[in-house]
Amino acid sequence: MTRAGVLGLQGDFIEHIRALRSIGVDAVDVRRPEQLEGIDALIVPGGESTTIGKLAAQYGIIPKLRERVDQGMPVWGTCAGAIFMARDVPAHPHPLAELMDITVERNAFGRQVDSFEVDLSVAAIGELPFHAVFIRAPLISRVGPDVETLATLEDGTIVAAQQGRLMATSFHPELTQDARLHRYFLSLIAA
Amino acid sequence: MREMASPNGSPNAPRATATPALKRGLAQMLKGGVIMDVVTAEQAKIAEDAGAVAVMALERVPADIRADGGVARMSDPQKVLEIISAVTIPVMAKARIGHFVEAQVLEALGVDYVDESEVLTPADEQFHIKKDVFKVPFVCGARDLGEALRRINEGAAMIRSKGEAGTGNIVEAVRHLRAITSQLAELAERANDNAFLSSKATEYRVPVDLVREVAANGKLPVVLFCAGGIATPADAALTMQLGAEGNFVGSGIFKSGEPAKRAKAIVDATTHFTDAKLIADVSRGLGEPMRGLSLEAIPAGERLAVRGW
- Does B136 contact A48 at a Cβ distance shorter than 8 Å? no
User: Any residues with CB less than 8 A from the CB of B112 and at least 6 apart, and which?
Assistant: A111, A112, A136, B26, B54, B90, B91, B92, B136, B137
Residue B12 is predicted with a pLDDT of 56
User: Any residues with CB less than 8 A from the CB of A151 and at least 6 apart, and which?
Assistant: A120, A121, A122, A130, A132, A158, A159, A160, A169
Nearest CB to B15 within list A47, A116, A129? A116
Selected for mutation to probe chain A from B23, B31, B34 (highest A CB count within 10 Å) is: B31
Q: Where are the beta strands (DSSP E) in chain A?
A: 3-7, 26-30, 41-44, 75-78, 86-88, 100-105, 116-120, 130-134, 139-143, 148-152, 158-163, 166-169
- Does B21 contact A79 at a Cβ distance shorter than 8 Å? no
B274 in contact with A at a CB cutoff of 8 Å? no
B299 in contact with A at a CB cutoff of 8 Å? no
What average pLDDT does the structure give for chain B?
Answer: 94
Nearest CB to A115 within list B26, B88, B111? B26
- Environment class of B99 (CB within 10 Å of its CB; exposed 0-12, middle 13-18, buried 19+): buried
Bridge pairing between strands A100-105 and B34-38: unpaired
pLDDT in tens, B171-186: 999 999 999 999 999 9
Residue B238 has pLDDT above 80, yes or no: yes
- Does A113 contact B17 at a Cβ distance shorter than 8 Å? yes
Name the DSSP class of B131: G
- Does B48 contact A93 at a Cβ distance shorter than 8 Å? yes
CATH of domain A3-187: 3.40.50.880
Residue A77 backbone zone (phi > 0: left; psi -120 to 50: alpha; other: beta) = beta
pTM reported for the whole predicted model? 0.95
User: What confidence tier does B301 reach under pLDDT thresholds 50, 70, 90?
Assistant: confident
Number of cross-chain residue pairs from A and B with Cβ atoms under 8 Å apart:
134
Residue B117's nearest CA partner among B293, B301, B307 is B307
Task: Give the number of other CB atoms < 10 A from CB of residue A187.
Answer: 12
B231 in contact with A at a CB cutoff of 8 Å? no
Residue B4 has pLDDT above 90, yes or no: no
User: What confidence tier does B13 reach under pLDDT thresholds 50, 70, 90?
Assistant: low
Selected for mutation to probe chain A from B1, B26, B28, B278 (highest A CB count within 10 Å) is: B28
> With contact defined as beta carbons under 8 Å apart, do A51 and B52 qualify?
yes
**For residues B255 and B263, what is the distance between their CA atoms, to the nearest angstrom?**
11
Residue B7 has pLDDT above 50, yes or no: no
Tell me what the mean pLDDT of segment A101-125 comes to. Answer: 97
**For residues A56 and A102, what is the distance between their CA atoms, to the nearest angstrom?**
20
Tell me what the mean pLDDT of segment A95-101 comes to. Answer: 96
